[in-house]
């Protein structure tokens, strides 16, 4: 078996350290020097892989976007039943599992760059479109299995993510945990209605 190159092993370590620093101090305060200090390496090593801070921020954005796609990883037990697999993903979208995939403050700081940087905007659009396409495909699978009847899977998938994005943006202002849970459950039910399902219980586990 071949060994992983130093580049392959070091780059993820540096990106994760930069992410951790951005969570703790804010993206605007995260620097190459502080990142190097966090993992006890020389700043020149980071510069060897990421010549500028902008390149490191770009790598961080790719790291966050890759984590978005993890929401579609479902337990093997769910994969044989298209409807159950779909509802498992909906549950994850409106749950702590989705919210802990990435830190909101870092994600929103990165997202704000879409208004200033066309390359960042393009990266976000590719991944967010992929999220919708993945959900659309799952809805189509459930339709074809005769378990659901969604007339326009693409529109339904888009509306689910519109609700998801709006829900978490608004809920980031809610400090009362009980209210947070109640509102999140309400928003999930609104998403479920986009699938023509009105009586739905959360899938355990």
For 2-43, the pLDDT digits (tens) are: 444 445 678 999 999 999 999 999 999 999 999 999 999 999
Q: What is the pLDDT along the chain (205 residues), one digit of tens a residue?
A: 444 444 567 899 999 999 999 999 999 999 999 999 999 999 999 999 999 999 999 999 999 888 888 888 766 555 678 999 999 999 999 987 777 778 889 999 999 999 999 999 999 999 899 999 999 999 999 999 999 999 999 999 999 999 999 999 999 999 999 999 999 999 999 999 999 886 454 444 3
Q: Dihedral of CA 76/82/83/86: which sign?
A: positive
How far is 96 from 136, CA to CA, in rounded Å?
23
The reported pTM is: 0.82
What's the pLDDT at 31? 96
How far is 162 from 194, CA to CA, in rounded Å?
11
What's the pLDDT at 94? 92
Domains observed in the chain: 6-51 (1.10.10), 65-193 (1.10.357.10)
How far is 202 from 143, CA to CA, in rounded Å?
20
Residue 69 Cα distances to 65, 75, 79, 135, angstroms: 7, 15, 16, 11
């Amino acid at each position: 078996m071949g060994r992983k190159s130093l580049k392959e092993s070091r780059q993820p370590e540096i990106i994760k350290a930069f992410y951790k620093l951005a969570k703790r101090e804010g993206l605007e305060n995260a620097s190459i020097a502080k990142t190097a200090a966090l993992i006890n390496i020389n700043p020149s090593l980071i510069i060897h892989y990421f010549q500028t801070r902008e390149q490191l921020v770009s790598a961080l954005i790719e790291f966050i976007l890759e984590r978005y796609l993890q929401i579609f990883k479902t337990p093997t037990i769910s994969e044989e039943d298209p409807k159950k697999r779909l509802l498992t993903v909906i549950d994850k979208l409106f749950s702590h599992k989705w919210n802990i995939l990435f830190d909101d403050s870092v994600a929103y700081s990165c997202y704000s760059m879409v208004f200033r940087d066309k390359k960042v905007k393009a990266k976000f659009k590719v991944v967010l479109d992929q999220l919708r396409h993945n959900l659309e495909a799952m809805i189509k699978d459930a339709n074809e299995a005769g378990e659901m009847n969604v007339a326009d899977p693409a529109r339904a998938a888009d509306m689910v993510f519109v609700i998801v994005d709006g829900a978490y943006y608004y809920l980031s202002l809610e400090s009362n945990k009980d209210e947070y849970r109640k509102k999140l459950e309400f928003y999930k039910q609104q998403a479920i209605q986009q699938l023509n399902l009105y009586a739905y219980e959360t899938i355990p586990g």
